[in-house]
Amino acid sequence: MRPPPLQAAVMSAAPSSRAAHARARTSGMTANDILTSPAAGARFFPMNTQHETSARPMLFLIDGNSQMYRAYHAIRGLTGPGGRSTNAVYGFVTMLRKLIADQRPQFIACTFDLAGPTFRSSLAADYKANRPAMPGDLAEQIPLVHEACEAMGVPLLACQG
């Protein structure tokens, strides 16, 4: 017997919105169909509580790069004891903790872009052509955001291309 379909929600920042929002989409995907990351013991981060408004399990997939950029630009001038920027890490972790506390998903994972060309680059030569390079102080925070996700038991998902 197959488990019930997951109710999936994608966390992303809309360009016209200052706050990130969750869009729930129902899909035919089941928990058995999902590939998981070995970063969190090859499983999605399970929550102990059932979401009150849904009889189906809730899955949140977070666009990690989008949320890092959002946090980076929303919080300026926050640094750690050594002077290293921590604004993206702080904002990202705050968002993630609030999401888990408020939505209580049964399953959660965070996706991140990998360096290098993607399938979109082959479809459109000008893909991201006008996008400025990632700020250096944001790039320095990426390993810390990954580490924070792993410490919270949230798997990191990434795929080259």
Extents of the domains making up the chain = 7-157
If one compares 17 and 117, the residue with the highest pLDDT of the two is 117
| pTM (two decimals) | 0.66
Q: What is the pLDDT of residue 28?
A: 37
Q: What is the pLDDT of residue 130?
A: 86
> What is d(CA 137, CA 83) in angstroms, rounded to the nearest whole number?
11
What is the distance, to the nearest Å, from the Cα of residue 79 to the centroid of all Cα atoms in its chain?
A: 22
If one compares 51 and 145, the residue with the highest pLDDT of the two is 145
Contacts of 73 (CB under 8 A, 6+ apart): none
Strands 107-111 and 20-26: unpaired
Under CATH, what is the fold of the domain 7-157? Rossmann fold (3.40.50)
pLDDT tens digits along 95-151: 999 999 999 999 999 999 888 888 888 888 888 788 899 999 999 999 999 999 999
